[in-house]
């Protein structure tokens, strides 16, 4: 069995080739850029006035002149105005172009106006209140880099440079496949020996920010039919996430079926609890995650292994957090232990409090907990309060 760390490293080392598509920029929120976005002109594109007031040639103020005639007025959105008389000034509004021959703007608050003449206070700072052309970015500068996920402010950048359509990487097409004759649809009333499907909804919600959509399939406990359906699904999707059928039961057909259709097994079983039977493989440019069927096991594997891969695939930094163990914990098996915990934050640090349920089938307990604390595989059985361990939040 692989350690949890080795399993994670192996999964993250696997990449699939992403395709590109062109979409309207307003629909690109959350997409991963497939091209660099460059400034099509200087930012700002002109010397921009940043305060309502008066624009003038500062040398005259520096020589002692305080009273200036108001020669004209300049509004935002108007073509460039010119200060014709350098002993005069131009009334200007925030966002307008700085008039030619002017090099400073004095605020209304620092002036007294009477009719068509304005007098400025003494000892004012000069050559201020101007956002100089190109001071933010120069024409041709990269504003957004290929591989980054587009956030709300990035759409404004695309609009500013006139990028009406943008190249983005398409999220992988994902199939979530449940298996087991004991599972029935949510809307169906289960018989005494049946349960409703639930894993697909928890895992789909966890991965929603990093995928376009998830299609759901269900496999019966029948090897030939499992092989037939998996063969068909592999032809349609980039990533397959399976739940159930990977342990050692007589009807756990998933590993054999995947082997029969040519999927290369990269590992089967991780030295951990819960989630020990997890299976992972690859076929050409497709990845297959086969999770255990028990709800807590499936969800833990999705949080610890599947979500980080999708984050990396989307060009995002994988969240690495830690927490301080708030109580002594004993765990004897030589396995990594992903313990359900609740969290309290003190002085910028998380304290993790054990919040265990009744085993890997107790999905209701996941609503009480907030994260998994990863206690490392070791021959020691006591994990002492105050030690720091990796934290996997959902």
Domains of the chain: 4-18+171-313 (3.40.980.10), 20-38+142-169 (3.90.105.10), 48-131 (2.170.190.11), 321-393 (2.40.340.10)
pLDDT score at 290: 97
pLDDT score at 373: 98
pLDDT tens digits, residue range 73-103? 999 999 999 999 999 999 999 999 999 999 9
**Other CB atoms within 10 A of residue 325 CB:** 21
CB 240 within 8 A of CB 254: no
Find the mean pLDDT for residues 155-166.
Answer: 97
Confidence class for position 356, pLDDT limits 50, 70, 90: confident
Helix/strand/coil for 273: strand
| Residue 124 structure tokens | 């004012």
CB 377 within 8 A of CB 349: no
Q: 264 has which bridge partners?
A: 282
Confidence class for position 167, pLDDT limits 50, 70, 90: very high
Distance of alpha carbon 314 from alpha carbon 13, whole angstroms: 14
Confidence check: pLDDT of 209 > 90: no
pLDDT tens digits, residue range 37-66? 999 999 999 999 999 999 999 999 999 999
Q: What is the DSSP code (8-state) at residue 43? A: B
Longest CA–CA span in the chain (Å) reads: 97
pLDDT tens digits, residue range 314-335? 777 888 899 999 999 999 888 9
Confidence class for position 123, pLDDT limits 50, 70, 90: very high
Q: Tokens 């629909």 sit at which residue? A: 27
pLDDT tens digits, residue range 301-310? 999 999 999 9
pLDDT tens digits, residue range 246-297? 988 888 999 999 999 999 999 999 999 999 999 999 999 999 999 999 999 9
Distance of alpha carbon 300 from alpha carbon 290, whole angstroms: 13
Find the mean pLDDT for residues 223-230.
Answer: 96
State pTM to two decimals: 0.75
Q: By mean pLDDT, which of 19-28, 76-85, 108-117, 243-252 is the weakest?
A: 243-252
Find the mean pLDDT for residues 7-33.
Answer: 92
């Amino acid at each position: 069995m692989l350690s949890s760390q080795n399993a994670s490293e192996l999964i993250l080392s696997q990449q699939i080739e992403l395709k590109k598509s062109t979409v309207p920029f307003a629909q690109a929120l959350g997409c991963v850029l497939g091209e660099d976005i460059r400034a099509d002109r200087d930012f700002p594109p002109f010397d921009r006035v940043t305060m309502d007031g008066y624009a003038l040639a500062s040398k005259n103020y520096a020589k002692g002149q305080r009273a200036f005639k108001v020669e004209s007025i300049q509004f935002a959105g108007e073509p460039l105005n010119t200060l014709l008389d350098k002993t005069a000034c131009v009334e200007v509004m925030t966002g307008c172009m700085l008039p030619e021959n002017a090099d400073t703007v004095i605020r209304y608050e620092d002036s007294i106006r009477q009719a068509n003449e304005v007098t400025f206070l003494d000892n004012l700072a000069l050559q201020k209140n101007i956002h100089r052309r190109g001071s933010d970015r120069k024409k041709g500068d990269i504003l957004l880099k290929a591989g980054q996920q587009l956030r709300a402010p990035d759409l404004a950048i695309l609009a500013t440079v006139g990028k009406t359509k943008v190249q983005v990487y398409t999220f992988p097409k994902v199939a979530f496949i449940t298996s087991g004759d004991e599972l029935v649809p949510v809307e169906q009333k289960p018989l005494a020996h049946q349960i409703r499907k639930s894993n697909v909804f928890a895992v789909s919600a966890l991965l929603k920010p990093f995928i376009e959509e998830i299609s759901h399939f269900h496999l019966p406990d029948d090897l030939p039919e499992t092989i037939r359906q998996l063969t068909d699904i592999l032809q349609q999707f980039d990533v397959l996430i399976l739940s159930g059928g990977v342990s050692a039961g007589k009807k756990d057909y998933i590993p054999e079926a995947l082997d029969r259709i040519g999927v290369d097994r990269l590992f089967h079983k991780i030295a951990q609890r819960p989630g020990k039977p997890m299976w992972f493989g690859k076929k050409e440019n497709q990845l297959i995650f086969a999770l255990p069927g028990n709800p807590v096991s499936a969800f833990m594997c999705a949080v610890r292994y599947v979500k980080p891969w999708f984050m990396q695939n989307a060009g995002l930094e994988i969240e690495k957090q830690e927490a301080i163990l708030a109580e002594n914990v004993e765990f004897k098996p030589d396995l990594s232990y992903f313990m359900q915990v609740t969290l309290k934050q003190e002085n910028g640090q998380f304290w993790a409090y054990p919040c265990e349920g009744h085993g890997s089938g107790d999905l209701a307990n996941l609503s009480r907990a907030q994260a998994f604390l990863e206690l490392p595989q070791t021959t020691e059985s006591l994990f002492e309060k105050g030690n720091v361990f990796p934290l996997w939040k959902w």
